[in-house]
Amino acid sequence: MASRSRSNPNRRITIRDVAAAAGVTPMTVSNVLNRRAGEVGRETQDRVIEVCRQLGYKPHASARRLRTDRRMAVGLVIVDPSPNYLSDPFIAALFAGLTDCLGPQGYSLVLHGSHPDGVGAIPLLQQIETDALCAVLSGSLRQRRAFMRRLAEARQPLVLLQEEHSELVGGLAGDDVCTVVQDDRGGGVAIAQHLLTGSCQHIVMLVPEIEWSAMVRREAGLRAVLSRARPRRTLRILPCGDEGYVATQAALAAYVARHGLPDTVVGGNDQMAIAAMKFFQARGLVVPRDIRVTGFNGFEVWRYSSPELTTVFSPAYDMGRNAGQAILARLQNGRFPFREQVLSVTLQANGSS
């Protein structure tokens, strides 16, 4: 059969060729390819797919979709000024969870990166090719709300990741939105409680220059505990540019020149925390004796530093998987199974604090 397609490469293989070669009707081939699989036995399915492969049959997907109106694709919109957003382990773990859930169901993921000013949403708007959207937003609440309005124009089921339903969705969109979020505020509370078991007078929290609502919630949790602590503690928030190694150390150098040495560094994520640890170690300070350091997220790199980093483990993979399950349920039943899902985080104290 393969030789037949090779001997006449210019003739387009049709569904009838596939049907004849597989010994089934064209309708059966169509059922298999359009995933009306319940109507076709497993062996026949396998045979049809194998014949499609051997003949190099390319179903005219665009035409097929005009009939089925199912694109078998989910869009993942990530609003981040850095083109390197995928190298953030949080985004990568979210993505892995989504892929693991949706891939086996035959869905592809279509990635759209966008700057917070929303310019990147224009191709998305023009070329909507997905059955549902997931989004991870950054920027101020005003920017995120504006972006939400543009997403709503796509009129697709939408899962917002790392946003609180009440803050961002309320009033702006209909029922076809749900949120999956980790308990970042609880993580901030856990870090503060842990720090208060030891000495901490002068605390600096490292955050990216751009606003992420998750970072705001981590800070809120930290403040909620520290504001009730006596004696009073100093807590300052230090923006660290693109949150990379070099930018973080530059921000710390400027901070120390102005405010003196802190005794505690709360990294908004593990990468900034490790950059801070190396910064102070290079200046002869001993962690945790002279300076305590904590991170956030717990993806592998917490083990890379010496001493290992106290961190809060993020369920990012589970968030991605749960978002995928919510989408599958929505596409099957016409509604999301929940409005908001909040996943727990866990602090692990290690040698750095």
Q: Point out which residues bind a second copy (CB under 8 A).
A: 33, 49, 52-53, 56, 58-59, 61-63, 65-66, 72-73, 83-87, 89, 91-93, 95-97, 99-100, 103, 106, 108-113, 120, 122-129, 150, 153-155, 244-245, 271, 274-275, 278, 281, 299-301, 303-306, 317
Q: Least distance (Å) from a second copy to the CB of residue 100? A: 5
- H/E element, 154: none
Measured CA to CA, the distance from residue 96 to residue 268 in angstroms comes to 22
Q: What is the DSSP letter of 295?
A: -
Nearer to a second copy, 91 or 225 (CB): 91
**Which residue stretches of 155-269 are H helix?**
184-196, 213-226, 245-259
Q: Least distance (Å) from a second copy to the CB of residue 242? A: 12
Q: Least distance (Å) from a second copy to the CB of residue 36? A: 13
Q: Least distance (Å) from a second copy to the CB of residue 161? A: 15
Nearer to a second copy, 55 or 159 (CB): 55
DSSP string, 296-353: SB--SGGGTSSSPPBEEE--HHHHHHHHHHHHHHHHHHSS-S-SEEEE--EEE--TT-
Q: Which of 267, 298, 319 is nearest to 162 (CA)?
A: 319
Q: Least distance (Å) from a second copy to the CB of residue 307? A: 10
What are the C-alpha distances in Å from 4 to residues 11, 19, 49, 56, 259?
Answer: 10, 15, 17, 10, 78
Nearer to a second copy, 102 or 222 (CB): 102
Nearer to a second copy, 65 or 223 (CB): 65
Nearer to a second copy, 6 or 230 (CB): 6
Q: 200, 233 in Cβ contact below 8 A?
A: yes
Q: Least distance (Å) from a second copy to the CB of residue 227? A: 33
Nearer to a second copy, 14 or 234 (CB): 14
Q: Which residues of 129-150 are buried (b: 16+ CB within 10 A; e: fewer)?
A: ebbbbbbbbbbeeebbbbbbee
